[in-house]
């Protein structure tokens, strides 16, 4: 047997799956979304966009925008008891309620 790969997208078949109506590329307006510093956002990974893709462990987590870095946003969120900093593009973020 061949040893299983342990890449960044391993074990994500169900996590990144889209519903049939949402398959394909998303609208281009998702790239132009802006978030203010201090705003709460949720990490909702869009698997059809590979740029600025955060690690799958952050899928569904909510954090606070700390700033902008180029076209990406710096988001601080909790991973267990630790605060982590995630740099991701707006296609993978959604305003939290």
Q: How confident is the model at residue 97 (pLDDT cuts 50, 70, 90)?
A: confident
**What pLDDT score was predicted for residue 23?**
92
Domains belonging to the chain, first-starting first, are 28-95 (2.30.30.70)
**What pLDDT score was predicted for residue 17?**
93
Nearest one of 71, 74, 69, 65 to 40, comparing CA atoms? 65
Which residues have a Cβ under 8 Å from the Cβ of 49 and sit 6 or more positions away? 25, 26, 89, 91, 92
Summarised one tens digit per residue, pLDDT across range 44-81 is 999 999 999 999 999 999 999 999 999 999 999 999 99
Which residues have a Cβ under 8 Å from the Cβ of 33 and sit 6 or more positions away? 90, 93
How far apart CA 72 and CA 87 sit, in angstroms, is 6
Whether 86 shows a pLDDT value over 90: the answer reads: yes
How far apart CA 11 and CA 13 sit, in angstroms, is 6
How far apart CA 43 and CA 76 sit, in angstroms, is 11
Summarised one tens digit per residue, pLDDT across range 13-48 is 999 999 999 999 899 999 999 999 999 999 999 999
């Amino acid at each position: 047997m061949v040893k299983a790969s342990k890449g960044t997208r391993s074990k994500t078949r169900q996590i990144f799956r889209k519903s049939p109506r949402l398959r394909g590329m998303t609208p281009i307006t998702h790239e132009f979304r802006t978030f203010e510093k201090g705003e709460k956002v949720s990490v909702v990974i869009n698997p059809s966009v590979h740029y600025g893709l955060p690690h799958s462990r952050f899928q569904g987590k909510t954090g606070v925008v700390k700033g902008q870095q180029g076209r990406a946003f710096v988001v601080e969120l909790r991973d267990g008891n630790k605060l982590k900093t995630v740099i991701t593009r707006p296609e993978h973020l959604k305003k939290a309620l």
